[in-house]
Amino acid sequence: MSDLDRLASRAAIQDLYSDKLIAVDKRQEGRLASIWWDDAEWTIEGIGTYKGPEGALDLANNVLWPMFHECIHYGTNLRLEFVSADKVNGIGDVLLLGNLVEGNQSILITCVFTDEYERRDGVWKFSKRNACTNYFTPLAGIHFAPPGVHFAPSGA
């Protein structure tokens, strides 16, 4: 594997990592479906395992999106290990902030993602993702709101 191929692969995988977070936050079905191999598995501990692009959409449409009015993921600490030229293992941390539908309650969630990525016919996608939740913490008395909701403009 050349240094150039390794750098290009690393950039493509970093995009996949971000694409998953963006797709869930922005409710982009096309983006979410496009990042999984047909035989991929996405496991969220305590919720279940979902297979392929259809499983990812099922999880988003029937579990994640009905749970949140809105959410935002912050992904960090992505570390990649090349197992071979076409297989990479990854680990990364995610912080999610959002407003739950139930109780109109804000929440903080932290997870560790352990991933497997595969390149097939020159394309990188997820072959496996495991999400292990560290914290699922309702933020009592807090409701996240866009700028300007809580404060009147000056002079008002």
Judge whether 5 counts as a catalytic residue. Answer: no
130 class by beta-carbon count within 10 Å (0-12 exposed, 13-18 middle, 19+ buried): middle
Catalytic member of 25, 58, 86, 93 = 25
- Cα of first residue to Cα of last residue in the chain, in angstroms, is 63
Catalytic member of 3, 19, 39, 73 = 73
Judge whether 150 counts as a catalytic residue. Answer: no
d(CA 75, CA 83): 22
Provide CB contacts within 8 A for 99, sequence distance 6+: 68, 69, 70, 71, 105, 106, 107, 143, 144
- Give the sign of the dihedral formed by CA 143, CA 144, CA 148, CA 154: positive
d(CA 124, CA 59): 22
Residues forming the active site: 25, 73
